[in-house]
Structure 1
Amino acid sequence: MDAVWRRQSLPVRSLAVAVQSALTGLTSLLLGAVLAACSSGTSPAGGPRADADGQLVYGTLTFHPCALNSASGRSVEAHCTGISVPENAADPASRNIELALALVPATGIAEEDPVFMLAGGPGQSSRDSYPDLHGAFENVLRNRHILLLDARGSGGSHPLHCAEDGAETALTGVGQQSVEAVRTLAAECRDDLSQVADLRFYTTTEHVQDLERVRAALGVPRVNLLGISYGTRVAQQYAGRYPDNTRALVLDSVVPNTLVLGQEHAQNLEHALNTQFARCRQDAACSTALGDPRQHLDQVRERLRSGTLAPVRYRDPVSGAWREEIPQFEHLAILLRMYAYQPSMAASLPLLLHEVAQGQYDSLLAQSQMLSQELGQALAMGMSLSVTCSEDAIEYRQDPRDAGTVLGSEFVTLTLAMCAEWPRGARPENFRAPLTGPVPVLAISGELDPVTPPRYGETVVAPLPNGRHLVLPGQGHSVLALGCMPGLVAQFIESADSAALDASCLEQLISAPPFAGRYGWEP
């Protein structure tokens, strides 16, 4: 193995772990025991039961055994089914689409109110995301079933993926495409997907309606919703529309109803990066070995945008094949943005910037290539655009404060260009209204989250008499599985009383120190 490949191996391996934690089994014997328990009457009336053929029947839905697999290789045995729903609820004659639903049965006697896990994105699959978070649900599963409904347009629910090579990555808002090129890609994707879908009907509003259809089909009076990132918007919208059918909400990395999602991305990321860079300056080992990350960033930004760099050969981190590419600032920008989600990866940014400042670009290109592939596979960009263009981009405004940030004004500019070509769905008049009422809510945030900072959680719980917000010190985006948080979430779902939680255990959490070299931080 040559020196270039060895030099890439540490950050690339770390990247594989971080991507799966940013975006996250029951054995056959255990599932058999659950089925036996259901058929012998230990499940509440109306709960899952085994039919004569051994299939699991829940309400009017019949499930079959299946395996849920994540991109990281984790697998969880479950039960799956499909649900046919009208694409346009207001038009019964519209095409029907198939929604993919999975059930992870409780390991003990289940309460009648299951838990729906709602994935982020928008455009991420709940079924594909779940295996990486399965361990965090161990205590919840003792007495509640977990249900995973892929939002329409994502995962196995009539997915809306752009077919053009590189389109999924280019349409993330951070790429090497011009405004004209991105607009063309969006138009081509629109034309392709419009042959099989009316893109106006793949928004949060339709997802909320689909969740209610599933609840009714299961025959359960109320549900608990656990949303992650964009999934927290879905949870709040459902609770606002169907308060009598909502028992409790867990909101991980909170998106307030009042937020124009994406408008503050540049400022939030810049604040998170400045915090991480300050930690390196305050750490003697990091600052001595790697210098000032902010100074390096300012230096390499100009160089990468100069257009004077020659192509660089590097190994593809997935295939191992040699590739050749000219380093661009966009390669660095996507790593800065996505690594900031997880402090364990943000800790490596001073090292990355130091290497790029020294003219070493192979690791930068390898990591950027791998992350771009992961993003393109994880998100259904057609569904993401249907949500963004219908719900948020209509309120985007250019902010002078974004100038000079890592994302700059490009995120807003590119998104607006894409949405100029994308069909826009209807948004309810009260869409921006804050969630109110007596619904019990537990909101959780990472202190260093670069996309949904803790102030968003405070905004959501402020008008909620039964709401509570917990901030995990030193942590980033998507914090459900960290430290003692799984236990606290299970306690809350059990009691629906956030005030009774003893969250002092969260004080033990710390953030990973900044790297001082290729072997990590100094002991």
Structure 2
Amino acid sequence: MRLLPATALAVAAALTATVACTASSTATTRPPRPVLTGAATCPDDAELTCSTLTVPLDHSGHVRGTLRLRVAETGNAHAAKGVLVFLSGGPGQPDEPLAPRVLPKVKPLLAQYRIVFVDQRGTGANALQCPALQQQMGSSDLTAPTVGAVTGCAAALGPDRRFYSTADTVADLDDLRQALHVDRFSLDGVSYGTFTAERYALAHPSHVSRLVLDSVVPQTGYDPLDLAAMQAVPRVLRASCAAVKCGFDPAADVAAVVRRYHDGVQLLDTLTSYEFVDPNYAAMLTALHQAANGSPGYLQGIVAGVAQGSAATADELSQGLHASTLCADGVYPWGTDDSPVASRPAALAATRARLTRSQLGPFDAATATGLGSLLTCLAWPREQVPPAPSAHRRIPGSIRVLLLGGDRDLSTPLSWLRYEASLVADAKVVVVPGASHSVQTHATSDAGRDAVYAFLLAG
């Protein structure tokens, strides 16, 4: 989803190596009340306290079992402005190992907020494990996996895979709120974390004070064809070209490369990853121009380097969790995951035939229908779709919302941010020029972080 995700890649040195504990299943009954247990100093940051939140595997109570989620928090239990919960992206990325990177970026908030990180179900050291799918996709949303890797993953996870939807994580968050002994808290979500925060606000509006939505996935869900990103590529690359004075039209070069080499999926995957390396795309612009004119070697080297840097272990970003969540949540050309698997390819082919040039930007229909997350869910087993709040309801005015984005973001394009803003009653929008994905932690400009401080400290 960039959603994923999403996700900062190792090629950009954006994420530290992660060590986390998240989910382990046991056949015990649900505790009478959510509680945090086993408080101790966190292994990743001695200034944080880590504890365990035990939640039901199945919040409906029909299937027995529990999951143990790691929770990390700052020490100011009676902070004046209450609790701020940070929600990471993916889906599949743990939160607690990110704390050492996030906390220095939010120093002005530490005196006023009790900041909490929670490893969402299916992430971290006890992540959902699918070795073949993990090796093929790493931290990418778009790399196309083999059918065998997808079906092997689903078989290995078994029927419990249906308990890893966003609706399940939303229920976990409400257990966390109760365990923290607060009636309301604020949520700061990045990438897929914005979707989780939005869905929590829709399900429990009376328990949310403020939302920070950084690199926004709309509450209605992501587009598995990624048309918004394809349409955004010309704007983003032309802005980057203007910044470095490249002297040619990179959008025309992308179109020429796709026509000449038929590698739209790989190129889009590389572009959405390269924003973490350089939001001005300086080397990429040169490589594209050379490839468009018949010399693809430089571009091929960049593509290979980005693919190598995109490798990730399951405890860094679990592709098993990524698949389980996206397939449970998503709406695809064939409908939702309760659609018969045998009928899905025909529906996808019909959608491909209807795509127009204006929808695809400089790419082609093969790109839109060949993306990794889409193909994963094409082969994912049929199962019942979990209930979720109406995604078209407006987030009420009782919740103040800051929507934050970078104008160079291809992972979660600005059109998604603007659409989500139309669904929010009290929305403040801040777009940071020259910034890409995950503004709070990655932008060189302080404009986005300053907007977050002002928003969370006001009133």
Distance 1:466 1:476, change over 3 A: same
Q: 2:154 aligns with which of 190, 196, 199?
A: 190
Counterparts of 1:347 and 1:85, CA distance in 2: 47
Letter in 1 for 2:170: V
The alignment's TM-score, normalised by the length of structure 1, stands at 0.68
**Contact 1:229-1:254 within 8 A present in 2 as well:** yes
Residue 116, structure 1, aligned to residue 71, structure 2: no
Structure 2 matches for 1:27-176, cutoff 5 A?
60-68=36-44, 77-91=47-61, 94-106=64-76, 110-111=79-80, 113-156=82-125, 158-164=126-132, 167-169=135-137, 172=140, 174-175=142-143
Residue 360, structure 1, aligned to residue 293, structure 2: no
Give the 3-state SS of the residue equivalent to 2:213 in structure 1.
strand
Give the 3-state SS of the residue equivalent to 1:192 in structure 2.
helix
The residue that corresponds to 1:457 in the other structure is 417
**Contact 2:74-2:116 within 8 A present in 1 as well:** yes
Residue 348, structure 1, aligned to residue 283, structure 2: yes
Structure 2 matches for 1:173-252, cutoff 5 A?
174-175=142-143, 177=145, 182-194=146-158, 198-252=160-214
Give the 3-state SS of the residue equivalent to 2:189 in structure 1.
strand
Counterparts of 2:81 and 2:238, CA distance in 1: 49
The residue that corresponds to 1:470 in the other structure is 430
Higher relative contact order (CA 8 A, sep 6+): 2
Letter in 2 for 1:18: A
Q: 1:393 aligns with which of 310, 331, 336?
A: 331
Letter in 1 for 2:131: A
Q: Deviations over 1:206-240 (max 9, x none)?
A: 11111111111121222110111111111122122
Residue 485, structure 1, aligned to residue 448, structure 2: yes
Letter in 2 for 1:99: L
Q: Deviations over 1:168-220 (max 9, x none)?
A: 5189553365xxxx3221110111122xx601111111111111111111212
- Structure showing greater radius of gyration is 1
Residue 269, structure 1, aligned to residue 229, structure 2: yes
Q: Deviations over 1:258-283 (max 9, x none)?
A: 3x413351x22223321244346657
Residue 336 of structure 1: how far off its partner (Å): 1.7
**Contact 2:213-2:403 within 8 A present in 1 as well:** yes
Residue 353 of structure 1: how far off its partner (Å): 2.1
Residue 438, structure 1, aligned to residue 398, structure 2: yes
**Contact 1:249-1:439 within 8 A present in 2 as well:** yes
Counterparts of 1:343 and 1:219, CA distance in 2: 43
Distance 1:77 1:163, change over 3 A: farther
Counterparts of 1:284 and 1:255, CA distance in 2: 29
Residue 408, structure 1, aligned to residue 368, structure 2: yes
Distance 1:280 1:219, change over 3 A: closer
Give the 3-state SS of the residue equivalent to 1:116 in structure 2.
strand
Give the 3-state SS of the residue equivalent to 2:182 in structure 1.
coil
The residue that corresponds to 2:14 in the other structure is 20
**Contact 1:199-1:424 within 8 A present in 2 as well:** no
The residue that corresponds to 1:501 in the other structure is none
Give the 3-state SS of the residue equivalent to 2:68 in structure 1.
strand
Counterparts of 1:373 and 1:454, CA distance in 2: 27
The residue that corresponds to 2:23 in the other structure is none
Counterparts of 1:330 and 1:253, CA distance in 2: 22
Distance 1:336 1:424, change over 3 A: farther
Letter in 1 for 2:41: P
CA-based RMSD of the aligned residues comes to 3.5
Residue 447 of structure 1: how far off its partner (Å): 2.1
Counterparts of 1:471 and 1:23, CA distance in 2: 29
Residue 114 of structure 1: how far off its partner (Å): 1.0
The alignment's TM-score, normalised by the length of structure 2, stands at 0.77
Distance 1:342 1:95, change over 3 A: same
**Contact 2:403-2:421 within 8 A present in 1 as well:** yes
Which blocks of at least 5 consecutive residues in structure 1 are unaligned? 1-13, 25-57, 69-74, 306-327, 498-523
Which blocks of at least 5 consecutive residues in structure 2 are unaligned? 1-7, 19-33, 336-347
**Contact 1:204-1:387 within 8 A present in 2 as well:** yes
Distance 1:377 1:212, change over 3 A: closer
Counterparts of 1:247 and 1:284, CA distance in 2: 42
Residue 360 of structure 1: how far off its partner (Å): 2.1
Give the 3-state SS of the residue equivalent to 1:445 in structure 2.
strand
Letter in 2 for 1:417: L
